[in-house]
Amino acid sequence: MASILRSEVQAERHVLAPRLSVVIPTFNEFSNIAPLVEAVRGVLGDLPWEMIVVDDDSRDGTYDEVLRIAQTEPRLRCLRRIGRRGLSSAVTEGVLAANGDVIAVMDADFQHDETKLPIMYHRLLDEDADLVVGTRYAGDGSVGDWDATRARMSDLATRLSRRLTGYQATDPVSGFFLIRRAVFVSTLYGLSQQGYKILIDILTSATHKLKVIEVPYIFRNRAQGESKISLMVVAEFAFLLIDKVTRGWIPPRFVLFAGVGGLGLLVHLAVLFSGARGGMNFIHAQALATYTSMIFNYVINNEFTYRDRRLVGLNFVRGLALFIIICSIGAIANVGVAELVISRTQSWTIAGIGGALMGAVFNFGAASSIVWGQHKRRRAGAPK
């Protein structure tokens, strides 16, 4: 009798086990959760499914709303992440917690068309595909009523991503896709988990060429809440591209930091020559140019390179003072290394490059840990 009962329980679990796990990364999506669960329940019907909401400690109570709904919808779960942010890493954690053999990734804001989920699921199985991508750029798919600027930015990102991935997929930056869990897991140790474009990360980390098919959909306007499109999205997309191009050998943030330094050099020269034309002596013009370029570098790095750790208010002023001190010390390191190199090589070119590289590495390391690092640690441990 006991063995029969165990068999019945095992059979019931097998029937109820989810075949499709829908992973939803969220940040401040309180008002969208209930409608989304209802919509997914309606389109998936009898298909065994589960939904895993991965919430980055939203301030609007998204986590509590998921818990409330889960009291009557046992297929719904929530992972609450404290001190961590980012769509790609949220998706990865959601997949690792999933029970289904097929994973669907989509946003909570209804911009992705949930009615396509059954179509994508059955095409994945029927055509023995590894990955099904919801595309805005093929068939009857579209970006909806985007303005011209956003459409151009998306088109540029898509073109760059196609070259990087080597796939002919029309929408490699799509955030709406289905993938076999085994395929996703096989890419885990190659994922950079940078930024919002997890699909590019998967395509470039796959251990073999994936069979990718596409299902067109029309990108919709956000249902509730505020858009997450910001300068941070652009910065993190740049982080991802740099990480993949350099194969992880060079920190993406260092590349951006050095790029800002290059722009700062142009600012330095512009101020220096303007001072010369204005009748200033060289020392005064050089000092003005130096501090102007330092301030420029700090502001741009704060807004772009360290957008996720951005300093505001008194922290911004304190950070500026520290940044100037660090860059001043970096200049001494620059000169010291340059003198050492020129004594060995007698080459101004090699000495100049060596000194500049030393200064850049010192400034980056010190600024990351002292100027923006302390702020990151305080935020990570603070309640939101």
Structure tokens at 341: 């190199």
In sequence order, what are the residues at sequence separation of 6 or more whose Cβ sits closer than 8 angstroms to the Cβ of residue 312? Answer: none
Collapse the DSSP code of 247 into the 3-class scheme (helix H, G, I; strand E, B; otherwise coil) and give the result.
coil
Instruction: Say if residue 185 is in the same domain as residue 290.
Output: no
Number of structural domains in the chain? 2
CATH label of the domain that carries residue 57: 3.90.550.10
Nearest to 322 by CA among 260, 373, 372, 371: 371
Q: Looking at 242, 271, 288, which one is the last position of a domain? A: 242
Instruction: Say if residue 90 is in the same domain as residue 194.
Output: yes
User: Could you tell me if residue 247 is inside a domain?
Assistant: no
Q: Looking at 242, 270, 304, which one is the last position of a domain? A: 242
Give residue-wise pLDDT tens across range 309-348. Answer: 788 889 999 999 998 888 888 767 655 655 676 677 766 5
Is the alpha carbon torsion for 159, 197, 106, 223 positive or negative? negative
Instruction: Say if residue 306 is in the same domain as residue 235.
Output: no
Check pLDDT > 70 for residue 180.
Answer: yes
**Structural domain for 369, as ranges:** 252-381
Range picked from 23-27, 88-92, 228-232, 349-353 for highest mean pLDDT: 23-27
Nearest to 134 by CA among 243, 73, 219: 219
Give residue-wise pLDDT tens across range 158-179. Answer: 666 666 666 667 888 788 999 9
Q: For a pLDDT cut of 70, what percent of the chain falls above it? A: 70
pLDDT: is 313 or 120 the higher one? 120
Q: Taking the model in full, what pTM does it have?
A: 0.66
Helix or strand run (H / E) with residue 237: helix 231-245
Cα–Cα distance for residue pair 69/151, rounded to 1 Å: 36
Instruction: Say if residue 276 is in the same domain as residue 361.
Output: yes
Residue 5 — pLDDT band, cuts 50, 70, 90?
very low
- Tokens 């961590």 locate to 84
Instruction: Say if residue 345 is in the same domain as residue 211.
Output: no
User: Could you tell me if residue 235 is inside a domain?
Assistant: yes
Cα–Cα distance for residue pair 108/90, rounded to 1 Å: 13
Q: Looking at 242, 276, 302, which one is the last position of a domain? A: 242
Instruction: Say if residue 228 is in the same domain as residue 316.
Output: no
Instruction: Say if residue 187 is in the same domain as residue 306.
Output: no
pLDDT: is 47 or 194 the higher one? 47
Collapse the DSSP code of 180 into the 3-class scheme (helix H, G, I; strand E, B; otherwise coil) and give the result.
strand
